A and B are shown apart, each in its own frame.
Chain A
C-alpha cells in the first residue's frame, strides 16, 4: 500500500506546526469552523526584526471534511488585499488534524460593533465614525467583488467574519474570512446550541433563503452586506430576531421573516414578482397578513436611528437591501455609488490614522473549552446577548 521509505522521508521533511509556532494557551476563538489561536514563530523574529502575530486555525474534527477541502482549495487560489491570506497548511498525520496559518487580525466587526453598543449602554455613545463605516463598506465590497468575479460565493457573511487588521503595515484593512464553505445547514458539524451565539444566526440571511431558495447566489451575499452596513450605521442588528427556536433542518423561519417585514414592510407583488415562485410562498401566504406591516418601511426604521432618507448612505443601503434578489445591486455597481464619491472618501486604513479604541482579542481560558459543564455558561452568554439587544430594540 504505502512505501516505508517514502513515509520516513516525508515524515522527516515535514514541519510540525508546534515546532514552528508558540500558541499554547493563546486561543482567541472557537466556532463551527474549529479553534483559532494567536501564534508567534518560535524562531521569533521576522526578516525586519519585529515580532509578528499569526492566526492558527485548527479545523474542527479530524481529517478532510468537505468544508475543510473547500476552504483549503479556495484559499490556496485567492489573493486580494481584502480577503484573508492563507500562508500555509499544516497536516498533522498523527492526530489527523488540519491547521491553517493566516496573518493575525486583531479586530472584527462583531467586537467593534459590540464595543459601540456597550458604550451606548453606558450612556457614553460612541458612534462608529462616518468615515470608518464608509471605508469598511468599501473594502468589504472590494473583497466580495473579487470573490464574486472568481465565482466564489461567501454564503455566510456576518460581522464576525469581517476581520480588521490592527497596528502594523496593514493597519485598518478589512479581511473577509470564512468564505465559500458550504456549511451545510441541515448537517452542522456540532449541535448549534453548543456554539457561541455569534456563530449561529439568521439575521443576515436574505429573504429568498428564508423562503426556501435552493441555491446560494451573489445577491445573497449582497443582502448580508446591506445588513452589516445598517448595523454599522446604527450599532444594532437591523434584522435582530429571537434565536431560541432555531430549527436546523428547515430554511423557512417565521420569526426572522416577520422581523424583516417589520423593518422593510411586506413585499408588494410589483416589488418582487418572483416571490410567488418561492418554495415556501404558500406558507408565507398562510402565515402572514400584509396589513400587519402597512406602517413599516426602511425609511422609517433608519429615520428612527437618525439616518435621513436623503443621505447618500441611505440611498446605497436601500439598493443593497432590495427584497427582490434580481434587483439587488451588484458589488461592482455598489463600489461606483455616489456615497463613495462624497467626502469623507474611503480610506485604506479604516481608522484613518486615528488611535484604535477597540480592545485587543482576549485569550479564552481552558475551562471555556468543549467540556459539558460549559453548555450552561454558553446559554447564559447567549441570554445576555439577547438581553442587551432587546434592551435597545424596545425604543
Chain B
C-alpha cells in the first residue's frame, strides 16, 4: 500500500488534531500530569521496541505496533485496558498485518515474560501476568477501536527517498533513522503525515551532525511551520530525557496510573 497516502485511512481518519488529543485525555490528565502521561508512553514505547527486537521484528513492524498502541489510547483512557497487555497485543497484530508472519501467542507470551524479567524488572518486579486468552480477547477490542484501520504509513520510506535526494550520506541516514524511532515516543505520529515527520527528523539529524543542507531544505515545498512543530515535539523529548531517570521513577508512575476495574463499581 505505497504511494496512496492521501486516500488512506491513515490520512482520512487518523491524523488527529491537538485539541482532540487534549479532550480525549482529560480523564487520565486529572490523575496524571502531562509530563507523567508522556513518561508512561515513553516507557511503553520502549517496551514495544525491546519486545519487537527480541522477536526479531523489522523496525517497520515495531513502529506500526507503537502507532496502534498510541491510537488506542488516543481514544481511550489508560484504565480501559492495561497497557502491559495492549502492548504485546499490538505487536502480534502488527506482525500479522505487515506479513512478517504469525508469531504464535505462546512465543509472544514467553518473550514478554523474558523481556519483563530481564529488561524491565525495575518496573515490574513480578512475573508477566497475561496469558493467550487475554491477548486474544484484547486483540478484538484493539481491532474494533482502530476501526479496522491497520495499514499505517511510516516516515522510514519517505526518509529513504529524501536521503537519496540529498546525496547518500550513511552517517546522516542512520542518525535520522534513529530520530524517527525516537519520534515514536512523542505524539507526532498521531498528528502529522509521515513525510513531514521524515523531513523534521532529517533536519534534526543535520543540526546534530552540523551538516548544512539549508538550501536543499529551502527547496522542499513543505509547510515549514508544521516541520517546526514536529521538531519542537522531538526536541522537548530530548530535553525530558536529559533530566529523567526512568529506572528510578517508573514504579511510582505505574502505581499512579489509572487502572482497569474488573468488576462493576458501585
Contacts and interface: CB of A to CB of B under 8 A. Distances in A.
A2 B4 CA distance: 36
B148 A150 contact: no
A64 interface: yes
A63 B85 CA distance: 17
A3 B139 CA distance: 15
Nearest to A14: B144
Contact of A1 (B4, B81, B99, B264): B81
A152 B262 CA distance: 42
A89 interface: yes
Interface string B135-152: 011111101100011110
A2 B82 contact: yes
B1 A2 contact: no
A1 B82 contact: yes
A6 B145 CA distance: 12
Interface in B121-135: 129-130, 134
A71 to B, nearest CB: 10
A6 B81 contact: yes
B80 A77 contact: no
A77 B102 CA distance: 22
Contact of A6 (B2, B4, B80, B151): B80
B97 A69 contact: yes
A150 B3 contact: yes
B8 A3 contact: no
A6 B144 CA distance: 13
A152 B93 CA distance: 19
Interface in B62-110: 76, 79-82, 85, 93, 96-97, 99, 101-102
Contacts of A74: 1, 151
A190 interface: no
A79 interface: yes
B9 interface: yes
B108 to A, nearest CB: 13
A1 B134 contact: yes
A70 to B, nearest CB: 7
A238 to B, nearest CB: 31
A77 B138 contact: no
B1 A152 contact: yes
A1 B132 CA distance: 13
Contacts of B144: 10, 14, 91
Given A77-B9, A96-B140, A4 B264 contact: yes
A66 interface: yes
Contacts of B134: 1
A182 B82 CA distance: 32
Given A70-B96, A74-B151, A77-B9, A4 B4 contact: no
Contacts of B9: 76-77
B148 A2 contact: no
Given A10-B144, A64-B143, A1 B97 contact: no
Interface in B170-228: none
Contact of A66 (B76, B81, B82, B102): B102
Interface residues of A, number: 30
B97 A2 contact: no
A77 B4 CA distance: 9
Contacts of A77: 1, 4, 7-9, 151
Given A2-B137, A151-B3, A76 B82 contact: no
B139 A150 contact: no
A91 B141 CA distance: 9
A91 B260 contact: no
A82 to B, nearest CB: 16
B263 interface: yes
A182 B1 CA distance: 15
A103 B258 CA distance: 43
A304 to B, nearest CB: 42
A5 B264 contact: yes
A93 interface: yes
Contacts of B56: none
A116 B63 CA distance: 51
Given A64-B139, A91-B140, A3 B260 contact: yes
Interface in A101-143: none
Interface in B230-266: 260-265
17 contacts: A1-B138, A1-B262, A2-B141, A3-B79, A3-B80, A3-B262, A5-B264, A6-B260, A64-B93, A66-B102, A73-B148, A77-B7, A79-B7, A89-B143, A89-B148, A93-B137, A150-B3
What 5 A-B pairs have minimum CB-CB distances, sorted nearest first?
A: A73-B150, A3-B260, A6-B80, A69-B96, A66-B96
Interface of B: 1-4, 7-9, 76, 79-82, 85, 93, 96-97, 99, 101-102, 129-130, 134, 136-141, 143-144, 148-151, 260-265
Given A91-B144, A150-B3, 9 more contacts: A1-B260, A3-B261, A4-B265, A5-B264, A64-B93, A70-B97, A77-B1, A89-B148, A91-B140
